[in-house]
Structure 1
Amino acid sequence: MSPIKIGLVGVGKIARDQHLPVIAANPDYELVAVASRNATLDGVDSYGSLDALLDARPEIEAVALCTPPQGRHALARHALERGRHVLLEKPPGATLAEVHDLVALAKEKGLALLATWHSRYAPAVEPARAWLAGRTLTSVTVSWKEDVRHWHPGQDWIWQPGGLGVFDPGINALSIITHILPRALVLKAATLEFPANRQAPIAAQLDFRDLSGVPVRAEFDWRQTGPQSWDIVVETTDGTLTLNRGGAAMSIDGVPHLEEPEAEYANLYALFSRLVRERQVDVDLAPLSHVADAFLCGHRVMVEDFHD
């Protein structure tokens, strides 16, 4: 089959770090052009908007949207209405209603739509899911703590309504635990810490129970300095499973079982290629639903101002 002709919208850090190298390395794709309001890409045709890109390059079959979530619904809807398959960076939208709308439209048009929970494709996630299947869980602890100044320098959109704040990385942890745990989760309590000068939280503590009553505690913090921590510990009656490095490494009772290089986006684009060929939709809203529940039910605490 001929390569999928793809356009990329939003030429920011995540696009340059992940999407562009993976597209270039995958023979299933041909990068035709990019669109950005204030960035270009050497050696590739660049346009100032999605509309301009699609008007100028009608051969484009699919678009990858790497823009902030607040404006993504309008872009995705426009691309679908113009007959293009769509890949959505995480989170797939600023609200659940937006994403439900995109799912309905993609199915109506017979087009592919992928909500990319990239952390689910870390190398140890599927082995962890397989090990936990059929076992009796007793508790789950998640610690997802990193330095926002390192990962999002000068990015104001993450602090605005719809930008999610600390849930921008925290939703990665939620995407993993909703995939590997045998039973669905229900949020019971949450505390969200908001800097007094910001519209999104800088830290959060979430307490879930799974449908059999197992406690699941998640702590997210954007004020971490020094080593960053992306860890999930699952206690079972058969031993303790630990995922480290965001799902790149797994151990059982402290004994390493797997540690491999990161290949999350390569796996995502392989999946998107299949979805495009089959014109299918793959959109799991569980991680975003838990974030929405935290904003709905969480206790809000004001903390000191944050300055980048």
Structure 2
Amino acid sequence: MTTPIALLGLGEIARSHHIPALQQSAQWQLAATVSRSTAVAGIENFHNVEELLAARPDIPVLSLCMPPAPRFEIASKALQAGRHIMLEKPPGATVSECRQLEQLAAQSGLTLFATWHSREAAVLDQCQQWLSDKQIKGFDITWKEDVRRWHAGQEWIWQPGGMGVFDPGINALSILTKILPVGVRVISAELETPSNRHTPIGARVTMATASGAVGSACFDWRQEGEQIWEIRITTDAGELQLTDGGAAVSINGEPLPAPLIRAPLIKSPVTNGNTLSDEYPRLYQRMHSLVQERASDCDFTPLQLVADAFMLARHHSTDRFEF
């Protein structure tokens, strides 16, 4: 028996990943959507969450895929109406609002799942295991892509709460914080913001682990040609390298065995972001288990690192940006 679920927000990620994952699931039935501008053929659509909550008390679970800025108000109303909530990354516009949602879900005995799709590769479990007994010496993140290729026309990412280049950069931080055996904090940051925008197009962040190792991250949305999504972690036993967002992993130059490598976890130039990997099916499987257990999964660490970077940053104005 499938569980009815509603999808709120029908943007690119919802259509290319969430909807296919739900359509192939034996656990879920996409019963309704919420969108003011579009709809899914054969699926009942509502223009706002209030209409959905009033008309469909039979739908116990809502998956929120709209930009982060409006999520708190929508998720709060849904939790108060007794619905379980799944949040696309980033889980919200601020850490404090995410914590409030976590408290509200706990008080109501409901599930809140803050998802990080880039963590859903089986190979990351292997990376985490290999690093677990190693001394971390340092790490380096290089996350460079062309915003015009992947986010064309998405004006919300340039507004307060839109996060700018940290929207993809947080994927790297979610991977890093999953596989490192120690905690990490931000030391300093340099943010470059177009003179006509509110969020950064480039960022350099310096971090340190709880054991004192220093690492850096370079996020840039002005990358033309080859797109780069790479993490290198140096240890007392050598180097672990993840490339293409985790699609390829090597240890001391030797690739991990092919059976451990799954499909790319992020948009790929080869697939144009439209090939469904196993990350979203795995997220929905996890959500189903959480709802059955009336449990929550709320790790806001990657968002906290982004917030800390904004707080500690030196801000620099750069050239105007237009799509």
TM-score clears 0.5: yes
For structure 1, list consecutive stretches of 5 or more residues without a partner in the other structure: none
Partner of 2:150: 151
1:123 and 1:163 map into 2 onto residues whose CA distance is: 29
Gaps of 5+ in 2: 264-276
Q: Is the 1:123–1:248 Cα contact (8 Å) retained in structure 2?
A: no
Report if aligned partners of 1:123, 1:249 keep a CA contact under 8 Å in 2. Answer: no
CA drift at 1:186:
1.6
- Following superposition, which runs of at least 4 residues in structure 1 exceed 4 angstroms of deviation? none
Please provide the CA RMSD for this pair.
0.9
Letter in 1 for 2:91: P
Report the 3-state secondary structure (helix = DSSP H, G, I; strand = E; otherwise coil) of the residue aligned with 1:70: coil
Post-superposition shift, 1:127? 1.0
**Aligned residue identity for 2:289:** R
Contact 1:196 1:302 (8 Å CA) reproduced = yes
Q: Deviations over 1:4-42 (max 9, x none)?
A: 210000011010011000011111101111010111111
Question: What TM-score comes out, normalization by structure 1 length?
Answer: 0.98
Say which of 308, 311, 314 aligns to 1:299: 314
- Partner of residue 231, structure 1: 230
Distance in structure 2 (CA, Å) of the matches to 1:229 and 1:263? 21
Question: Aligned residue for 1:256?
Answer: 255
Deviation of 1:249 after TM superposition, in Å, equals 1.9
Residue of structure 2 aligned with 1:267, choices 276, 279, 282: 282
Secondary structure, counterpart of 2:79 in structure 1: helix
Residue 94 (structure 2) pairs with residue 95 (structure 1): yes
**Contact 1:122–1:246 (8 Å) recurs in 2:** no
SS in 2 for 1:204: strand
| Percent identity (aligned) | 45
Structure 2 Cα separation of the partners of residues 288 and 185 of structure 1: 13
Aligned partners of 1:219, 1:122: CA distance in 2, in Å?
23
Cα deviation 1:223-244 (Å, max 9, x = unaligned): 1111211111111121211111
Paired AA for residue 29 in structure 1: W
SS in structure 1 opposite 2:157?
helix
In structure 1, what is the Cα distance between the partners aligned to 2:229 and 2:308?
22
State whether structure 2 residue 195 is matched by structure 1 residue 196. yes
Aligned residues: 307
Take 1:284 and 1:239, find their aligned partners in 2: how far apart are those partners? 29
TM-score by length of 2: 0.93
Give me the whole-angstrom Cα distance separating, in 2, the residues matched to 1:159 and 1:22. 29
Indicate the larger mover: 24-33 or 245-254.
245-254
Structure 1 residue identity aligned to 2:153: G
Q: 1:281 offset after TM fit, Å?
A: 1.1
Structure 1 segment 80-159 matched on structure 2, within 5 A = 80-159=79-158
